[in-house]
């Protein structure tokens, strides 16, 4: 297979992930193209690229980044060789990757066919079953009627979780303890899913009690080679959304780790997975592991994996899309053995949310912004400077702090120190809340499951 070296890459995204992509490109000597909406005309990602173009004139802030034809037309006019979709927006849209292919522009991610097979949760579950990987007991197909839901409830028992097949970011999910909540949940999850993802398809799973969320990072090339980069623990969640992520997990025995990673590779192999992706699992108290979904794209929390494996995942994504084999020096992974774990990493998501007002997004101009720095601290910021204007147009992620330490305790202490060092004035942030979590004895003991924040309301005080 020929190698196509990219000269120019567009990030079809905004915020911190667009900047993350530009940094990877610049280090590889590839020039960068940003797109920005009218609402983002002052945003940092625009200024971090070699070229930047306004898109979506007259459209809403989100819709501007969803205009497939406009983005591809622009990329063609500006001689873009490849598009990196980041996360969110068009990153899992098979129509978009197919349109890139048709336009002769490389899509830095899996093929449209792989995206279709894994992109929604119902079809992902089918792939897992065929690959011999355990899934959470649930409905095999979308649930279309109340009757179908009640039949499942009768056989599985409560609690049940109603989930949107197209769901993401914790949206389109309802936990039901009884029949009344199930019937309500069906309606509200479907309408939330329709509004958020344009797809009201719903299915049901047995609600696993107080599980841990563990996920495996994978990377495949176009030549049939696949590796994993071990796991991340993302159990600290608020409303099913990740808040703090850790790599590697603190409680997997070597045998369990091996099992989890081999499940991830089985699923990936069964579809001939290409590029970076994440296979997500839940693990219950008895250490039963259940597949939940595949995210066929780079994830917010990829930074912690980069820190513990010393591998640049975004650069590897680009190299794979150029046609390199994993074993080529440009990627440098001759075999699975080359991926080694060193120490521990933690990521905290600093958001412009007001913990005193039920984490409502806060807006305004950042008046003062002093960052943390020093040994073991990595920052990936979107609007990290004094004068930046935070508007209601986009999600509230302001900066990701990732810390590294030889032990989990070292990484936690560095995170605590970094959080204390930060000064952000002008908008409210969740820093105080993150500090309470990071110093909590249950956190330090590595015992958090997905119910941690619910069970410890003191961290919100």
Q: Name the residues annotated as catalytic.
A: 242
Instruction: Report whether 449 contacts 236 (CB < 8 A).
Output: no
**CA 2 to each of CA 76, 108, 257, 321: distance values in angstroms, whole numbers, following the listed order:** 21, 16, 36, 11
Report the relative pairing of strands 106-107 and 31-36 from DSSP bridges: unpaired
Among 119, 211, 355, 384, binds ligand ADP (CB under 6 A): 211
240 near ligand ADP, rule: CB under 6 A: yes
Query: Does 205 contact ligand ADP by CB under 6 A?
Result: yes
Angle between helices 68-77 and 94-102 (to 10 degrees): 30
Tokens of 171: 């949206």
Q: Does 168 bind ligand ADP (CB under 6 A)?
A: yes
Q: CA-CA distance, 373 to 379, in Å (whole number)?
A: 8
CA distance 412 to 416: 6
117: part of which helix (H) or strand (E)? Answer: helix 112-119
- Closest distance to ligand ADP from the beta carbon of 121 (Å): 6
Query: What is the smallest separation between the CB atom of 175 and ligand ADP, expressed in angstroms?
Result: 8
**Residues 6 or more apart from 253 whose CB is under 8 A from it?**
none
Q: Does 450 bind ligand ADP (CB under 6 A)?
A: yes
Select the residue interacting with ligand ADP from 8, 68, 98, 207 (CB under 6 A): 207
Q: Of 415 and 448, which has the nearer Cβ to ligand ADP? A: 448
Q: Which of residues 270-289 bind ligand ADP (CB under 6 A)?
A: 280, 282
Which residue is it, tokens 């590779």? 265
Among 118, 161, 214, 246, binds ligand ADP (CB under 6 A): 161
Residues forming a β-bridge with 199: none
Segment lying near ligand ADP (by CB under 6 A), choices 8-16, 145-153, 201-209, 309-317: 201-209
Contact between 162 and ligand ADP per CB under 6 A? no
User: Interface with ligand ADP includes 25 (CB under 6 A)?
Assistant: no
Planar angle of CA 418, 424, 429, nearest 5 degrees: 85
User: Is 292 a residue that touches ligand ADP (CB under 6 A)?
Assistant: yes
Q: How far is the CB of 450 from ligand ADP (least distance, A)?
A: 4
Residue among 120, 293, 306, 353 that touches ligand ADP (CB under 6 A) = 293
Q: Is 54 exposed, middle or buried (0-12, 13-18, 19+ CB in 10 A)?
A: middle
- Which of 354, 368, 367 shows the shortest CA–CA distance to 429? 354
- Eight-state DSSP code of residue 451: T
170 binds ligand ADP (CB under 6 A): yes
Q: Does 402 bind ligand ADP (CB under 6 A)?
A: no
Nearer to ligand ADP, 359 or 363 (CB): 359
Strand 344-351 to 241-247 pairing? antiparallel
Structure tokens at 213: 């969320």
159 vs 432, which CB is nearer to ligand ADP?
159
| 136 near ligand ADP, rule: CB under 6 A | yes
Shorter beta-carbon distance to ligand ADP: residue 22 or 291: 291
| Stretch touching ligand ADP by CB under 6 A, among 163-171, 176-184, 190-198, 325-333 | 163-171
CB of residue 232 vs ligand ADP: minimum separation in angstroms? Answer: 11
Annotate 170-196 with DSSP letters as a single string: T-SEEEESSHHHHHHHHHHHHHHHHHH
Q: Name the minimum Å distance from CB 240 to ligand ADP.
A: 4
Give the residues lining the site for ligand ADP (CB under 6 A): 136, 161, 167-170, 205, 207-208, 211, 213, 237, 240, 280, 282, 292-293, 450
């Amino acid at each position: 297979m020929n190698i196509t070296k990219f000269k120019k890459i567009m990030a079809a995204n905004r915020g911190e992930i667009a900047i993350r992509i530009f940094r990877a490109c610049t280090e590889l000597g590839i020039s960068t193209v940003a797109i920005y909406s009218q609402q983002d005309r002052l945003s940092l990602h625009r200024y971090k690229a070699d070229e930047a173009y306004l898109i979506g004139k007259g459209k809403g802030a989100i819709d501007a980044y969803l205009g497939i034809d406009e983005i591809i037309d622009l990329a063609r006019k500006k001689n873009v060789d490849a598009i990196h979709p980041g996360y969110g927006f068009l990153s899992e849209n098979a129509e978009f990757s197919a349109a890139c292919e048709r336009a002769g522009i490389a899509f830095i991610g899996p093929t449209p066919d792989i995206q279709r097979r894994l992109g929604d949760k119902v079809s992902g579950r089918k792939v897992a079953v065929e690959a011999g990987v355990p899934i959470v007991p649930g409905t095999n197909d979308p649930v279309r009627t109340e009757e179908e839901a009640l039949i499942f409830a009768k056989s599985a028992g409560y609690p049940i979780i109603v989930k949107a097949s197209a769901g993401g970011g914790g949206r389109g999910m309802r936990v039901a303890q009884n029949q009344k909540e199930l019937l309500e949940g069906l309606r509200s999850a479907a309408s939330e899913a329709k509004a958020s993802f344009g797809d009201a398809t719903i299915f049901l799973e047995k609600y696993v009690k107080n599980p841990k969320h563990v996920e495996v990072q994978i990377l495949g090339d176009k030549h049939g080679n696949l590796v994993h980069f071990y796991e991340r623990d993302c159990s600290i969640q608020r409303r099913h959304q990740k808040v703090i992520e850790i790599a590697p997990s603190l409680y997997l025995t070597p045998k369990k780790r091996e099992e989890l990673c081999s499940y991830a590779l089985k699923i990936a192999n069964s579809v001939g997975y290409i590029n970076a992706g994440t296979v997500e699992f839940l693990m219950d108290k008895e250490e039963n592991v259940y597949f939940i979904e595949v995210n066929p794209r780079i994830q917010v929390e990829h930074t912690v994996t980069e820190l513990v494996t010393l591998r640049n995942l975004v650069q590897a994504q680009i190299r794979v899309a150029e046609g390199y084999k994993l074993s080529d020096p440009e990627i440098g992974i001759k075999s699975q053995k080359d991926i080694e774990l060193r120490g521990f990493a933690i990521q905290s998501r600093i958001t412009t949310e007001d913990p005193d007002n039920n984490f409502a997004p806060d807006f305004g101009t950042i008046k003062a912004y002093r960052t943390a720095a020093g040994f073991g601290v990595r920052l990936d910021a979107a609007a990290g400077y004094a004068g930046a204007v935070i508007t209601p147009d986009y999600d509230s992620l302001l900066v990701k702090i990732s810390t590294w330490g030889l032990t989990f305790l070292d990484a936690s202490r560095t995170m605590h120190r970094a959080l204390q060092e930060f000064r952000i004035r002008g908008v409210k942030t969740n820093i105080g809340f993150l500090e309470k979590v990071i110093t909590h004895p249950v956190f330090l003991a590595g015992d958090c499951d997905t119910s941690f924040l619910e069970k410890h309301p003191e961290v919100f005080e």
